[in-house]
Amino acid sequence: MEEMSNSLPFDSLHNPSIERYRQIYKESIENPEKFWDEHAWILNWYKKWDKVLDDSNAPFYRWFINGKLNISYNAVDRHVNNFRRNKAAFIYTNERGEEKIVTYHGLYKRVNSFAQALKDMGIKKGDTIAIYLPMIIEAPVAMLAAARIGAAFTLVFSGFGAEALAERINDSGAKLIVTADGGYRRGKIIQLKEIVDKALEYTSNVETVIVVKHTNTDVNMVEGRDYWYHHITGENIYVEPEPMDSNDPLFILYTSGTTGKPKGIVHSTGGYAVWVSSTLKWAFDPQETDRWWCAADIGWITGHSYIVFAPLILGLTSILYEGSFDYPFPDQIWRIIELYGVNILYTSPTAIRMLMKYGDIYPKKHDLSSLRILGTVGEPINPAAWEWYYKNVGNSRCPIVDTYWQTETGGFIISPQLGIANWPLKPGSATYPHPGIEPVIIKENGEIAKVGEKGYLFIKKPWPGLMLTVNKDPNRYVSTYFSKVKGYYFTGDYAIMDNDGYFWLLGRADEVLKVSGHRIGTIEVEDALLSTELVSEAGVFGKPHQVKGESIVAFVVPKSGIQREGLEERLKQMVREKFGPIIVPDEIHVVEMLPKTRSGKIMRRVIKAVYLDQLPGDLTTLESEASVSEIRDAVEKFRNEIKQ
């Protein structure tokens, strides 16, 4: 095992000077092989690579050629051998108030025990397993155990139903699935084992089901196929980590599939591990004593990268929470921060807007002074939510690290980087690219956008965290990500760069309205509505219009205490005064809740489909069916008023 030095290569980079960032960034772009040859030592390697980057088969880039490592060793073993042995790796809690603290030594024991159980079940290097678990300790244990023996995994978000689960099992070729009897969500038990049983009616490759007893729900256990987790684990055993090639697949993670068949994004072992651990260090500057809370779900890339792999590689203590942020009471998230002394909170703008609707009273009820840094993920954060987060949660003293990235990028690609330098933050801007990322904004006509001009965001060069391919579909990988501008990675997002070189993300390019010849992002209209400080959430879409092409329709959730009567006209007037008439929605509908996924993203396509009397499509990730009824009732009321 080739050890890294005691001082990580970028520890010395911490300097408040923006010039220092520019120097580091320039080095990473002009001489990437030298840069990554140095920075890959954030990990321990069994064998050093022969070459940093192989681009001979572009766009199928490969990093750290012939380098050998094991990510499970890097996440667990190396900490057990030093002072972190008795440090908490995870502090688990749930909405019922239960808690469990697992040290690095305890995690090490659990991972080894389950790795042996997988081997006993016939799983070997090159196989794939599926994981369908709630936010419990056994989820990262299963991920690390699979990686330890060289098996890839596909972790499926526990909010998906049987059909979506079966589709992912079939595409990944998983031979074994790890699940639980159930999971907790807003006071209810989600019957996970029941969903797995139904999903397996549509699959043929799963031979073994391992079930964690979590909720003590009665479940059907099929003899010879189903095994209780606690029956096959618990022995004090050591499993030698399998030396893996840097470009061996680590996991397959499926995109949501809102348009077409879900894509199985395949990530590597070496490049991915280097990227996520480096970017967490750069962006958030975590300290040894910090308690880190990435308040996402492990079922998404945010959870893979920044709940499991990066924090464990860096030896951090993470909060692992099962439940909703506003259940059983609206101050649940603030209670947890106070109770566990959270230092860094990383959550989504949607969650922030949801919490905003309860008002300022709840965060003020709790001691949030432990917070040092705040972060956002998942979508662009509108300035109104940024300001609320900064003032009411961070007490106007915690910098906000607004991160831009995707499932496909592996980790952050544009964000503030407190571990390298401090620069002024602008509410709503993800600021500057990370080392190794060279963004370019290109207009529809193929010209490079000037400062202040909107266009598609591309990345010029590969970086270590870039996915390997789309599972079983290399042609889709090329056509989706590298065909719009040859050789450039296409993000699918609109962006603008301002005079200071800051990047502003404007949402998906397919969520753009064409109104009277103007191209307007739905996020722009939503930001305008939220800036009035009368509403906490907004969902915007375009409907066909004979004259304008499209007209703007908005559904909004008012803030607590805001008078609903006449709110639509007040909003229109305020938006018109601040942003001009082109941004003003033609229709504004006031509702109590918007359709959202269980990870907190507003489902605009569902709102639009219900409004247009179309089928809403896949609802397996829908948080609440009542939200769809809310939209339907509002539309029916509107149409009845028109008739009258």
CATH of the domain at 554: 3.30.300.30
DSSP codes, 290-312: -EEEE-S-TTSHHHIIIIIIHHH
CB-count exposure of residue 240 (10 Å: 0-12, 13-18, 19+): exposed
Residue 3 has pLDDT above 60, yes or no: no
Whether the bond into 581 is cis, omega within 30 of 0? no
Tokens representing 566?
A: 């006449």
- End-to-end, the C-alpha distance of the chain in Å comes to 78
> What is residue 150's predicted lDDT score, i.e. its pLDDT?
98
Tell me what pLDDT residue 644 has: 66
Between the alpha carbon of residue 166 and those of residues 111, 160, 193, 224, 263, the distances in Å are 26, 10, 13, 20, 14
**pLDDT tens digit string along 5-44?**
333 333 434 445 789 999 999 999 999 999 999 999 999 9
Tell me the H-state helices in 451-538: 474-481, 522-530
Is residue 195 exposed (0-12), middle (13-18) or buried (19+ Cβ within 10 Å)?
buried
Q: What is the pLDDT of residues 463-503, one digit of tens each?
A: 999 999 999 999 999 999 999 999 999 999 999 999 999 99
Q: If you average pLDDT over residues 52-72, what whole number do you get?
A: 98
Q: Reduce the secondary structure of 31-75 to three states and give it as a string.
A: CHHHHHHHHHHHCCECECCCEEEECCCCCCCEEEECCEECHHHHH
Q: Is residue 625 part of a domain?
A: yes
What percent of the chain is modeled with pLDDT above 70?
95
Q: What is the DSSP letter of 554?
A: E
Gap between the Cα atoms of 181 and 189, Å rounded: 9
197 pLDDT more than 90: yes
Model confidence at 353, pLDDT cuts 50, 70, 90, reads confident
- 535 forms beta bridges with 558
pLDDT higher than threshold 90 for residue 603? no
pLDDT at 451 over 50: yes
CA–CA separation, 644 vs 31, rounded Å?
A: 69
pLDDT bin (cut points 50, 70, 90) of residue 548 is confident
Flag whether 511 is in a domain.
Answer: no
Is 341 strand, coil or helix?
coil
Residue 588: inside a domain, yes or no?
yes
Residue 256 has a pLDDT of 61
Tens-digit pLDDT profile for residues 239-251: 999 999 999 999 9
Of 43, 38, 35, which Cα lies nearest the Cα of 70? 43
For residue 59, cis peptide bond before it (omega within 30 degrees of 0): yes
What does DSSP assign to residue 12? G
Average pLDDT rounded to a whole number, residues 568-583: 86
Backbone angles phi, psi at 334, to 5 degrees: -75, -35
pLDDT band at 374 (very low <50, low <70, confident <90, very high): very high
Type of residue at 97: G
pLDDT in tens, 269-328: 999 999 999 999 999 999 999 999 999 999 999 999 999 999 999 999 999 999 999 999
User: Taking a C-beta distance cutoff of 8 angstroms, is the pair 518, 582 a contact?
Assistant: yes
Amino acid type, 90: F
Tally of CA atoms within 13 A in the half-sphere of 431 that contains its CB: 24
- Are residues 16 and 417 in contact, defined by beta-carbon separation less than 8 angstroms? no
Which structural domain range is residue 617 located in?
527-643
Nearest C-alpha neighbor of 601 from the set 537, 524, 532: 537
Encode pLDDT of 65-87 as tens digits.
Answer: 999 999 999 999 999 999 999 99
Q: Per-residue pLDDT averaged across 343-366, rounded?
A: 92
C-alpha–C-alpha distance, residues 349 and 225, integer Å: 42
What is residue 404's predicted lDDT score, i.e. its pLDDT? 96
Instruction: Give the separation between CA 107 and CA 92, rounded to whole angstroms.
Output: 12
Query: What is the number of residues in the chain?
Result: 644
Model confidence at 370: pLDDT above 80: yes
Average the pLDDT over each of 76-90, 290-304, 442-456, 604-618 and give the range with the smallest value. Answer: 604-618
Largest CA distance in the chain: 78
Supply the mean pLDDT for the chain: 92
Mean pLDDT of 438-445: 95
Say if residue 65 is exposed, middle or buried (CB neighbours under 10 Å; 0-12, 13-18, 19+). middle
402 belongs to a structural domain: no
Average pLDDT over residues 231-235: 93
Where on the phi/psi map is residue 561: left (φ > 0), alpha (ψ -120 to 50), or beta?
A: left
8 Å CB contact between 385 and 588: no
Report pLDDT digits (tens) over 549-560: 789 999 999 998
Our CA dihedral for 230, 203, 599, 191, rounded to 10 degrees, sits at -50
Print burial letters for 517-527: b (CB count within 10 Å at least 16), e (below 16).
Answer: eeebbbbbbbb
Q: CA 340, 345, 348, 351 torsion: positive or negative?
A: positive
434: Cα within 13 Å, side-chain hemisphere = 31
Which is it for strands 291-294 and 264-268: parallel, antiparallel or unpaired? unpaired
Q: Is the pLDDT of residue 258 over 60?
A: no
189 domain residue, yes or no: no
The whole-number pLDDT of residue 1 equals: 63
Arithmetic mean of pLDDT, 437-459 = 95
> Is residue 216, in this structure, part of any structural domain at all?
no
Beta carbons within 10 angstroms of residue 415's beta carbon: 26
Q: What is the pLDDT of residue 305?
A: 98
Count structural domains, the chain.
Answer: 1
Looking at residues 151-173, what average pLDDT do you find?
Answer: 92
617 within domain boundaries: yes
In this structure, of 255-269, 391-405, 498-512, the range with the lowest mean pLDDT score is 255-269
**In angstroms, rounded to a whole number, what is the distance separating the alpha carbons of residues 535 and 575?**
12
For 329-339, the pLDDT digits (tens) are 999 999 999 99
Is 595 a domain residue? yes
Contacts of 335 by beta carbon, 8 Å cutoff, 6+ apart? 329, 366
Q: Per-residue pLDDT tens for 105-151?
A: 999 999 999 999 999 999 999 999 999 999 999 999 999 999 999 99
**Do 615 and 639 touch, CB atoms closer than 8 A?**
no
Highest mean pLDDT among 283-287, 596-600, 640-644: 283-287
